[in-house]
Amino acid sequence: MNYTEDLSVSNINDNKFELTLSVSTVTVATKEEAKKVVDFQKQAFIAEPGSLELEHLFTTQLYSTNLWSSGCSNAAYIGMTGVTLDFDHGYTIDEAQQAFADYNYILHTSRTHQYSEDNNLGEDRFRVILPFEPGVMQFTSASEAAKVYYKLMTLYPKADQACSNPGRKFFPSTRELNTPFLLDVHVSGKYFSMDVSDVPVVKPFVQVNYIPPTELDTHEELYRMLKFDKFIPWCQGEASNGLPEPLWHAMISNLCRFEGGRELIHEISAKDPVIGRYDFDETEDKIQHALESSGPIGYEEIVKRGWSGVAPVAPLAPAGFAKIGSIQNRKSLFASDKNPDIYLKHDDWILVDDKGILSAIIFGDLKQKVKEEGCTVSAVCPFCDTDGAKIRTNTFHFAYLHCEQCNRSYWEHPDSPELFSYNGELLRIEMKGNKFISHEKLKPVNFRNGLEWDYACKAVMNDPKRRFIGDSFTINRIGDASFGELGYEMLPEENSVVFEFPAIGVDVQDNAFIDRFLDRMFRDRADFVKNWMALYAYTNYVSLPVIVLTGPRSCGKNTFADLVGEIFPSLKATWDGDKEQFNDFAKAKLVFVDENRHSDKPVQYAEIKRLTGSRTIKINEKHIRQYYVRNNAKFIFATNDPRPIALHWREEPESEKTNNFFIYSCPAVSSDDIDGELFDKLKARLGHYVRTELKKRFEAWKQSGNANTRYALKTPITDLAKQLFGASKSLIELEAEELAQYLVCGYQRNDGSLLYPKTYSFSPVMAAGGLYVQQQDLRELVQKLNFKGHSNYKSYITVLQDHGVLSYKNDNRVSGQRLGYQILRKPEYYTTASGSIAAEEGVITSSAGLSICHTTSSSNGRVVFE
């Protein structure tokens, strides 16, 4: 790489830029020295190629593009002047120079640039500083700072994730390792800028409960606590100023459980500056009292009692650090192994720097974070206790921790809890972000060696909780507003694997807004619709009535359907309402049929009936072999068509208890009332609405026991529905349309008993490329179909002629043979429903028997599952 060449191209009129950094007040020569630095000051620089001042800075001083009121803690953060990205794996300087060419930037290599370790070749390791336009300090709160780095990590996934905390400073590229140092000041670009208005509130690590040890423990564990906890060392430092009594108690309750802790309590207490306040016997009494109490006092309480430090997510009390992270002396899995690997289990506690404080997180969660964000996580090595270990995942999404100090890697245990087996094959559930990746079939090549593969196969296939076989196996997706986060469950008793989706998060709390929208749109039916939504949010596999909405444009029907879809954004699908080759929409929880173009097809009605009435549905999905899901689909139709759905008059419901269709015409909204931001406003309020109003309705529904209704709720039979069912003209049209399908495709029905079967069948006559039907055959067909108007079969002929299905002439001849009416509609009109069509339920039949559920594509076997 030739840097001088790069520098010479800089624009003469624009050959420098300004930047302001936090810079350490002292210079250092080694990493160890750098670790002790805490004082920083704000300093402005002119950046230009070849700057010796900058070279000196980046090799001897700590710096940050974040500014602090004092020191360099998360709490003291006041804003940023730019951003700094750290690249240490899988990204070259060349790639970075191209990626950032449009910006002013400073690129400098870091301490371990091209340094070979662990028998690996060296890699480019470097930082990229991207200054903002000088002037006003930006992103002045810690939450905004978190959003900035959250977005940066999405934009530049190769950057080290650990750059993101507001207290983050960067060590200089000290010259201890004699690595090459390169500095590229790129001045021909523009200042960097960030817009974080689209970034959601950044979620911290998930809270985990850790139960601290309660028994008297060893010296070694005492030292671990003193090393990682911040509270007891604070007490030690503060003792000579006099500890406030509540905090003194907290200190005792944490120390008293350890061998050597008692002595330390006396040592700290004796430093009290007030003569006579330390009393040996009184302190012993306190220790005894603390030992008899339930457990060590936790961080939350300690903060309440006035400690100004920051509590980690876990452990919950200082004493908890004693047992966290140290997993030394772990035996190898394989007795025969000459150079045994040591494995990390999913529930092993690992200490990580969580926004400036050490917190304990289980390895499985860290793996998930690393995988989702494509980053590395810095951690304290659980074997040698030094920090600076890194957690990464390999190509096949198994995680490992590499420690420079131990000079080795520790691998994810081959038997990971996401594994399951189906009909003798090893599969894995994978989540990424808010998605599941397909239940992916694993192969020996996915594991580091044959021993691991054998181990995992054996462990999973011998575990009845994770071993599935047979035709009744289903893969199900459910949404429930009481779930906290994306998860999965293996249910051997139901022979199923279940993917669990949480509801949309809470943003704005304003139920009245959503109520106004629903009340305006559904008027006296709003109560039913809200209850429907409540069951949608809190139940699964419950059969809910189909919602069919019609009405003018911008009456809100699509907004309503989209809003329901947003309750579980990953569980919505659209369907064009026709029978299709691929029906993967049917694995969704909400199926939205927009502009129901096939509302005139009787086959649609049959398909809806089948989809709402079946316990399981066979999913035909592109590139994935057929598999079964337990039916969890609810339907909303929206259309401008005043006749929104093809209903069958013979199925007109007798009461609200057996009604399966809520058919509703939405009132128009005057153009003055149309709010372009309505959907966004509703969506922002939805999370709270779901967890309050809908929850209340769900609880009430549970109490009331709606067991005697067929579709969970009493479903209003609207005037529109009555019209649709009752209007004889439209009925004739509907039936004529059904008739047309049989005329074109044929019809077959089995009557009579098993012993004396009688078959009636109709097929059109084909001649000279056209289809024909004689009038008497048509009459017989109408009678066999038992249509309501069968006594006047000619009315059907009139409708079919008017619709261009039948010729007006009924004396068509081909080669002198009289063939009757010509059927003008082509079989292609029913492309997806070819072959003979049986009546009603018989239109679609599904065969039993389950095909296995992994992907057929052999190229990489990985398909996003939703």
Binding site for Zn ion (CB under 5 A): 381, 383-384, 403, 405-406
What is the nearest approach in angstroms of Zn ion to the Cβ of residue 406?
3
Give the nearer residue to Zn ion in terms of CB position, either 406 or 542.
406
Burial of 495 (0-12, 13-18, 19+ CB in 10 A): middle
Give the nearer residue to Zn ion in terms of CB position, either 297 or 403.
403
What is the nearest approach in angstroms of Zn ion to the Cβ of residue 264?
27
Give the nearer residue to Zn ion in terms of CB position, either 406 or 765.
406
Q: Which residues contact 306 (CB under 8 A, 6 or more apart)?
A: 244, 246, 247
Sign of the C-alpha dihedral computed for residues 718, 722, 724 and 729 taken in this order: negative
Give the nearer residue to Zn ion in terms of CB position, either 363 or 383.
383
- Residue 637: how many CB atoms within 10 A of its CB? 27
Specify the residue for token string 């690129």. 107
What is the nearest approach in angstroms of Zn ion to the Cβ of residue 387?
10
What is the nearest approach in angstroms of Zn ion to the Cβ of residue 373?
23
- 11, 187 contact by CB (below 8 A): yes
Give the nearer residue to Zn ion in terms of CB position, either 302 or 380.
380
Give the nearer residue to Zn ion in terms of CB position, either 383 or 436.
383
What is the nearest approach in angstroms of Zn ion to the Cβ of residue 351?
12
What is the nearest approach in angstroms of Zn ion to the Cβ of residue 399?
16
Give the nearer residue to Zn ion in terms of CB position, either 404 or 594.
404
Name residue 441's beta-bridge partners. Answer: 427
DSSP 49-103: TT-HHHHHHHHH--EESEEESSTT-STTEEEESEEEEEE-SS--HHHHHHHTTTB
What is the nearest approach in angstroms of Zn ion to the Cβ of residue 222?
21
What is the nearest approach in angstroms of Zn ion to the Cβ of residue 25?
32
The CA distances from residue 340 to 333, 336, 408, 537, in Å, are 8, 9, 12, 50
Give the nearer residue to Zn ion in terms of CB position, either 154 or 386.
386
Q: Looking at this protein, which amino acid is placed at residue 396?
A: F
Please state whether 23 falls in left (phi above 0), alpha (psi between -120 and 50) or beta.
Answer: beta
What is the nearest approach in angstroms of Zn ion to the Cβ of residue 380?
9
Whole-angstrom Cα distance, residue 42 to residue 26? 13
Helices (H), 596-694: 602-613, 678-689
What is the nearest approach in angstroms of Zn ion to the Cβ of residue 90?
22
What is the nearest approach in angstroms of Zn ion to the Cβ of residue 171?
19
What is the nearest approach in angstroms of Zn ion to the Cβ of residue 412?
16
What is the nearest approach in angstroms of Zn ion to the Cβ of residue 404?
8
Whole-angstrom Cα distance, residue 477 to residue 573? 13
- Nearest Cα neighbor of 268 from 255, 286, 285 is 255
- Nearest Cα neighbor of 82 from 160, 5, 192 is 192
Give the nearer residue to Zn ion in terms of CB position, either 183 or 403.
403
Give the nearer residue to Zn ion in terms of CB position, either 328 or 482.
328
- Nearest Cα neighbor of 180 from 98, 100, 127, 108 is 108
Specify the residue for token string 């270990």. 389
Give the nearer residue to Zn ion in terms of CB position, either 288 or 328.
328
- Edge-first strand order for the sheet with 17-24 is 40-47, 17-24, 63-64
| Angle at CA of residue 137, ends 135 and 143, nearest 5° | 160
Backbone angles phi, psi at 646, to 5 degrees: -85, 105
What is the nearest approach in angstroms of Zn ion to the Cβ of residue 384?
3
- 42, 22 contact by CB (below 8 A): yes
- The helix/strand/coil state of 170 is strand
- 627, 475 contact by CB (below 8 A): yes
Give the nearer residue to Zn ion in terms of CB position, either 131 or 382.
382
Give the nearer residue to Zn ion in terms of CB position, either 194 or 403.
403
Please state whether 704 falls in left (phi above 0), alpha (psi between -120 and 50) or beta.
Answer: alpha
Give the nearer residue to Zn ion in terms of CB position, either 383 or 501.
383
Give the pairing of strands 408-412 and 419-422. unpaired
Q: Which residues contact 365 (CB under 8 A, 6 or more apart)?
A: 205, 206, 208
Whole-angstrom Cα distance, residue 106 to residue 66? 16
